[in-house]
Amino acid sequence: MNPAQMSDEQYDAITRLLRESAGLAFDHSRRESIAYSIGERMRATGSADVPSYLAMLTDGGERQALLDEVTIPETHFFRNPPQIRALRTHVLPELLRQARDTKRLRIWSAGCSTGEEPFTLAMLLRELLPANAGWDVRIVATDISTRALVAAREARYAQRAFVMTDPLDRQRFFYLDADSGHFVVRDEIRDMVEFRHHNLATQPPPFGPRELDVVLCRNVTIYFDRTTTKNLMKRLHGCLRDGGYLFLGHAETLWQVSDEFSLVPLGDAFVYRRGVGADSKRAVLPDRRTENEPRPTRADRRRGPVDRRGSRSAVAVTPAPPAEPDPMVVVRTAVATGSYVEAADLAAEVTTVDPLRAEAHYLQGLALTNLGRDAEALVVLRKAVYLDPHDGFAHFLLGGALERSGELVAAGRCYRAAATTLGTRPLDSVAPELGGRSVAELVVLCRQLALRVEGQA
């Protein structure tokens, strides 16, 4: 597969189209992988050059094919064990108890990819409701990728989808297709899930107001721009009933996105909940302000909630809320939403308090390189690789900053170190903050970049 050679204008035209049609935000760190996707679509459509391929994108079918190519389908069964525990032990039993009379439950897996997430929900429900008889349970699973939905409807999975699955669950809910070696979801689970095509950025939800009990929208908004995420959260809020639950991915928060939900700790997971009343909302959103109250500073936020008399209360109203997300989650979210100045500042604050935190140096370097501040990025990325020599992503970024600064020999060494250290990770894992590239893709890219700079040195 050859990457397409695109001018800046052509790259901008393509990323604008992806943003407008699916809310997907691509910065320049994604250029290489977009070039591969465009190259693949040019080959598939027989386009002679980039302009003739761009002309084809007026056609809805080709736009969909490109979306299938650029979206990241990474997922697996029972993903995010703390959230799975929260669903299994708190959320689903509570919802079933509440629905004792109506016997009605509505769940949406929004951005379901190849189906592992909604099928996991079905398995959890099946454990709790051994006989569905008399219950009206619907799990609707949607995605923008037609390719992912085809795979989801086939419901056949290779070994790698089961990294988090208990072998007993696999035995119970799947059968082995001996010819292909794939595991196939049993009908009793398959029948509980309905797959549909749906665009979360542009279409209204496939549910009416207050109809839903739970929404899982995990690891989807990390690829969205902030406005798309804000609008989406408003719509999700609208179709959740009071007390309904919202699950986001571990790197996603509603901080500075929506204050309409309550953040609730459940075991070792944090989940969002549509407020069940003014009191509970105040309890879990301690720093909600009136228009005239001053914005808290970052230091204030770190210290925790302030009560109405202005003293900082050590004891929160029950249930005890987390004062704010983990700072690294906040930094990652700022990176994911393209707020690089904020990400760099926040990461710098973290390293001031904890200078040995390699991840914070790395994310600061990532934000600075995105801002074009290579000289500053070099300083922090050197610290990142010094503190964690096995962090291939940091070597990769340092290589780029060195190359742009003309230090080609050192850049070549970094790219090689990146290829070697990344090669020790699962090859299909993904780095969302590096534009969602898979590790396999980065390893190949780093080797190519090493050859290129070595040739110039």
Ligand X SMILES: C[S@@+](CC[C@H](N)C(=O)[O-])C[C@H]1O[C@@H](n2cnc3c(N)ncnc32)[C@H](O)[C@@H]1O
Q: Tell me: does residue 145 bind ligand X (CB under 6 A).
A: yes
Q: Tell me: does residue 75 bind ligand X (CB under 6 A).
A: yes
Q: Tell me: does residue 74 bind ligand X (CB under 6 A).
A: yes
Task: Give 142 or 370: the residue with its C-beta nearer to ligand X.
Answer: 142
Task: Give 141 or 192: the residue with its C-beta nearer to ligand X.
Answer: 141
Print the binding letters for residues 18-57 with ligand X: x by CB under 6 A, - otherwise: ----xxx---------------------------------
Task: Give 245 or 415: the residue with its C-beta nearer to ligand X.
Answer: 245
Q: Tell me: does residue 249 bind ligand X (CB under 6 A).
A: yes
Contacting range for ligand X; rule: CB under 6 A; set: 141-149, 368-376, 408-416, 439-447: 141-149
Least separation in angstroms between CB 129 and ligand X = 23
Which of 79, 126, 274, 361 binds ligand X (CB under 6 A)? It is: 79
Site residues for ligand X, 159-218, by CB under 6 A, read 199-201, 218
Total number of residues binding ligand X (CB under 6 A)? 25
Contacting range for ligand X; rule: CB under 6 A; set: 39-47, 138-146, 292-300, 328-336: 138-146
Report d(CA 324, CA 333) in Å as an integer.
13
Q: Tell me: does residue 113 bind ligand X (CB under 6 A).
A: yes
Which of 140, 161, 189, 220 binds ligand X (CB under 6 A)? It is: 220
Task: Give 112 or 446: the residue with its C-beta nearer to ligand X.
Answer: 112
Least separation in angstroms between CB 299 and ligand X = 33
Least separation in angstroms between CB 114 and ligand X = 7
Q: Tell me: does residue 263 bind ligand X (CB under 6 A).
A: no
Least separation in angstroms between CB 370 and ligand X = 21
Using CA atoms, how far residue 257 sits from 108, 111, 279, 296, 334, in Å, is: 21, 19, 22, 16, 11
Q: Tell me: does residue 73 bind ligand X (CB under 6 A).
A: yes
Contacting range for ligand X; rule: CB under 6 A; set: 107-115, 315-323, 341-349, 355-363: 107-115
Least separation in angstroms between CB 10 and ligand X = 22
Q: What is the 3-state secondary structure (H, E, C) of the chain?
A: CCCCCCCHHHHHHHHHHHHHHHCECCCHHHHHHHHHHHHHHHHHHCCCCHHHHHHHCCCHHHHHHHHHHHCCCCCCCCCCHHHHHHHHHHHHHHHHHHCCCCCEEEEEEECCCCCHHHHHHHHHHHHHCCCCCCCEEEEEEEECCHHHHHHHHHCEECHHHHCCCCHHHHHHHEEEECCCCEEEECHHHHCCEEEEECCCCCCCCCCCCCCEEEEEECCCHHHECHHHHHHHHHHHHHHEEEEEEEEECCCCCCCCCCCCEEEEEECCEEEEEECCCHHHHHHHCCCCCCCCCCCCCHHHHHHCCECCCCCECCCCCCCCCCCCCCHHHHHHHHHHCCCHHHHHHHHHHHHHHCCCCHHHHHHHHHHHHHCCCHHHHHHHHHHHHHHCCCCHHHHHHHHHHHHHCCCHHHHHHHHHHHHHHHCCCCCCCEEHHHCCEEHHHHHHHHHHHHHHHHHHC
Which of 6, 14, 144, 155 binds ligand X (CB under 6 A)? It is: 144
Q: Tell me: does residue 83 bind ligand X (CB under 6 A).
A: no
Task: Give 72 or 92: the residue with its C-beta nearer to ligand X.
Answer: 72
What residue ranges bind ligand X (CB under 6 A)?
A: 22-24, 71-75, 79, 111-113, 117, 143-145, 148, 199-201, 218-220, 223, 249
